[in-house]
Amino acid sequence: MTDRPFKEGAFWDRLEAREVEDDLRTALRERAARTTGTVLRIGEQASLVAVIEQIFPRAAVPAPVIAEFIDANFDKQMGRGDERHGTLPRAELLPAGLVALDAEAGAAFHAIGPERQRALLASAEAGKLKGRDGFESALWFARLRELAILAYASDPRGMQEMGFPGPSFRPGYLWLGYAGPDARAKQRPGYRSF
Amino acid sequence: MAKNLTGERFDVCIVGCGAAGSVLACKLAEAGWAVVALEAGDWLETDKDFRQDELSMLGRFDWDDRRWVAGNEELRLGHVRDGRGVGGGTLHYGAVALRFWEEDFERFSRDGVGRDWPIPYAEMVPYYDQVEREMRLAGPLSMPWGPHPGKYPQGPHEMNYRDEKLAGGLEKLGFRWTPTPLAILTGGHDGRSPCMNYGFCQWGCKSDAKTSMLVSYIPRAVKAGATIVPNCRALAFEAAGDGRITGVACDIAGVSERVSADVFILSAFCIENARLLLNSAGGAFPNGIANGSGMVGRGIMAHIANPYFARFDEPIEMWTTAPGTLLSQEHYGTKESRDFVGGWSWMTASLFPAEFGTQLTRSEEGIWGEHLMELLRDYPNFAVLGTEGECLYYSENRVELAEDTDEFGVPRAKVTFNFGENERKMRDEMGRLAGKILEAAGAKETFMGSGNDHLMGGCTMGASADNSVVDSNLKAYGHENLYICDASVFPSSGGSQPSQTIIALATRLAEHLARKGGARA
């Protein structure tokens, strides 16, 4: 359960009202329609899903959906060009982290208990998880979380859980109605879009 | 569309169509020069290609090729750092339009650290004036600080609730504030819409209200006959033994081309400028073009850009205007009372959901799990106060060529960047004051992030060929027909956004070249 359950019809109606472009509306619908996902490249699906469930517990966007997004994009630049010299490039960094988690756990990450999972992730965030040469666990944790946030926050279910109304083209944000000083005056406490 | 350029000869070839290159293409074409401008990225159309969605736009106009970074400061490159596309960084900039202050041009003379500019502020004034008029800046009637002499062409942007709250915090501490001068129209101009408050300025302005080069100087350049070549990657300069640049080798959609011109202007921003010059080593120039002093790539600077998150117990909805609509320069410049040199600007910021989550989680350890979810669900209640703090010139902060190469066979860039003691002290003081401001604004909780922004330097302007790459007219030492113009020539970083100074420098260079002559017309 979330504070702001996804209001399926209302969200799309509002996008229609705002004349958001067809291709973007289609993309948003596709993102929000996914309930499961497949991990093919980065490592074991169950372990990645377990990591995400620890980072995003009970999120409006299902963990397997976020896992699939990470699997599809972990080796892409995604707007970021910097890579730390002397460390694994991102294409190798994220898979190496999943291997390191299993190695430290002495079992598959998804098979160990939640307390132990959280302890291992805390260790990774603190830079203490050991891995192959060039592996920096704090960097791994940050990059994984960054991708997960991108997956979550670009999904209409995540947007709505965060209280964000989505794209605002053409007449302005929903609560503005039509952009103008009078409508903008509604940007005050107590006036909510959801 | 690939264009066959080999065999043609131009008066001027400009490498890079960002804040500087676009202005130069426009001004020189209007002066009758035969202009070709090469741009590595796409030529996007605001209405057709821009989407108000973080994921859709990610990488669309970011220079996000792999670059190696090293040093004590995590240098973020790519989105909202370096642009790629006709318009360059102005496609993603927040359009904050401030002049540097007089002291920024005299940092070494005044404080004994960093470097001076070889030109004084007074020489820049007519160009700042011209740019402010041409870009129809929207700003307050007067500025409480700094050198701006009069009112801006258009009225200021409306403040939102975020601005009201943070202004309240500043006022309680006795700090002055003002609506920020922005290169975003508040009234129509030249067929472009006034700002619609979409808020997505840094993901591509859909209304054309933001004065990016794409919708302002580039159309003028095209109208005046300039040839703009998108998706054209400049690979290396070719030089004669006497230093004259004879051509630039480039790749246009997989086809090798060579562009000839009488004059070349390099405006590909800090990292790519240095990379291109260093990759042009050979013959009489074994250390690279314009690198007789060994200074190419040195002196990279980045602003101290810390996001300070304030969580309120009521909705703020920070994203409802352009990001930087409120400004305070109360702590700009060197103050005798402080134990560091230089200062900073305070500015509001807007972060959309994904960027908000990314930046917030970087502010301290432990933001994941239930804690993360609780914070994300309170997103509307957050406001962000940002900074642009001065970074001194350190020659050790530099761009070099790495051992590995990209898909064009050009060595990747390696950027070594450290903040020094001065920046660490400034960042501490920023954090201390930010905490007080946010508390005074009524925040119930704060998160003190740290970061950096706005690359500058790497092809430093200076009076001596021994320690500089270009002279005061931006001509490369040792090369009669090569100029470099963008933030890479800055000898100091100032404590505010660099775009107006870049555009003013480009306007000045265009005037210099046009006066010098050389146009076929």
Whichever domain contains B264, its CATH number is: 3.50.50.60
Percent of chain A with pLDDT over 90: 71
Give φ, ψ of B354 to 5 degrees: -70, -45
Alpha carbons A82 and B218: distance in angstroms, whole number? 29
* Radius of gyration for chain A, computed over Cα atoms and rounded to the nearest angstrom: 20
| Chain A residues 38-67 with CB within 8 Å of chain B | 54-59
Inter-chain residue contact B354 with A176, CB threshold 8 Å:
no
Asked if residue B348 is part of any domain, the answer here is yes
Instruction: Choose the closest CB to A83 out of B68, B197, B379.
Output: B68
Residue B368 touches chain A, beta carbons under 8 Å: yes
Residue A115 touches chain B, beta carbons under 8 Å: no
Residue B126 touches chain A, beta carbons under 8 Å: no
Inter-chain residue contact A152 with B199, CB threshold 8 Å:
no
pLDDT tens digit sequence for A175-193: 333 344 444 444 333 333 3
- What DSSP string runs through B308-345? EEEE-SS---GGGS-TT-EEE-TT-S--TTSSSS--EE
| B2: pLDDT strictly greater than 80 | no
How confident is the model at residue B3, as a pLDDT? 55
Inter-chain residue contact A81 with B365, CB threshold 8 Å:
no
| B254: pLDDT strictly greater than 80 | yes
Instruction: Choose the closest CB to B320 out of A159, A167, A173.
Output: A173
Inter-chain residue contact B197 with A176, CB threshold 8 Å:
yes
Residue B48 touches chain A, beta carbons under 8 Å: no
Asked if residue B250 is part of any domain, the answer here is yes
Contact B429, B84 (CB under 8 A): no
Please give the angle made by the CA atoms of A52, A56 and A59, to the nearest 5 degrees.
Answer: 120
Test the A interface: residue of B46, B49, B52 with most A CBs within 10 Å = B52
| pTM for the whole structure | 0.94
Number of domains in chain B: 1
How confident is the model at residue B189, as a pLDDT? 85
DSSP B188: -
Q: How far is CA B321 from CA A143, B207, B499, in A?
A: 29, 13, 20
Test the A interface: residue of B372, B444, B452 with most A CBs within 10 Å = B372
Q: What is the mean pLDDT of chain B?
A: 95
Asked if residue B424 is part of any domain, the answer here is yes
How confident is the model at residue B331, as a pLDDT? 98
Residue A80 touches chain B, beta carbons under 8 Å: yes
Instruction: Choose the closest CB to B67 out of A55, A82, A179.
Output: A82
Asked if residue B521 is part of any domain, the answer here is no
Residue A149 touches chain B, beta carbons under 8 Å: yes
pLDDT tens digit sequence for B310-333: 999 999 999 988 999 999 999 999
Nearest to B89 by CA among B20, B191, B26: B20
Inter-chain residue contact B55 with A154, CB threshold 8 Å:
yes
Inter-chain residue contact A164 with B353, CB threshold 8 Å:
yes
Asked if residue B307 is part of any domain, the answer here is yes
Inter-chain residue contact A159 with B353, CB threshold 8 Å:
yes
Inter-chain residue contact A164 with B352, CB threshold 8 Å:
yes
Inter-chain residue contact B366 with A142, CB threshold 8 Å:
no
- Give bridge partners of residue A90 from the DSSP assignment: none
Asked if residue B2 is part of any domain, the answer here is no
Long-range contacts (CB closer than 8 Å, 24 or more residues apart) made by A40-43: A40/A71, A41/A71, A41/A74, A41/A75, A41/A95, A42/A70, A42/A71, A42/A74, A42/A94, A42/A95, A42/A98, A43/A95, A43/A98, A43/A99
Instruction: Choose the closest CB to B51 out of A2, A24, A161.
Output: A24
Q: How far is CA B168 from CA B165, B305, B322, B326, B347, in A?
A: 5, 22, 19, 11, 14
Alpha carbons B97 and B471: distance in angstroms, whole number? 25
Whole-complex ipTM: 0.94
Contact B83, B62 (CB under 8 A): yes
Token digits of residue A164 = 């964000």
pLDDT tens digit sequence for B269-278: 999 999 999 9
| B448: pLDDT strictly greater than 60 | yes
Q: Which amino acid is at B194?
A: P
Nearest to B87 by CA among B252, B215, B222, B209: B215
How confident is the model at residue A6, as a pLDDT? 64
Instruction: Choose the closest CB to B370 out of A57, A164, A181.
Output: A57
Inter-chain residue contact B58 with A55, CB threshold 8 Å:
no
Asked if residue B77 is part of any domain, the answer here is yes
Domain region containing B420: 9-51+60-516
pLDDT tens digit sequence for A24-65: 999 999 999 999 999 999 999 999 999 999 999 999 999 999
Instruction: Choose the closest CB to A78 out of B58, B197, B415.
Output: B58
Establish whether the linkage from the previous residue to A170 is cis, with ω within 30° of 0.
yes
Instruction: Give the pLDDT band of residue A173 (cuts 50, 70, 90).
Output: very low
Asked if residue B4 is part of any domain, the answer here is no
Residue B165 touches chain A, beta carbons under 8 Å: no
Higher pLDDT, B157 or B149: B157
Chain A: closest CA distance from residue B157 (Å): 11
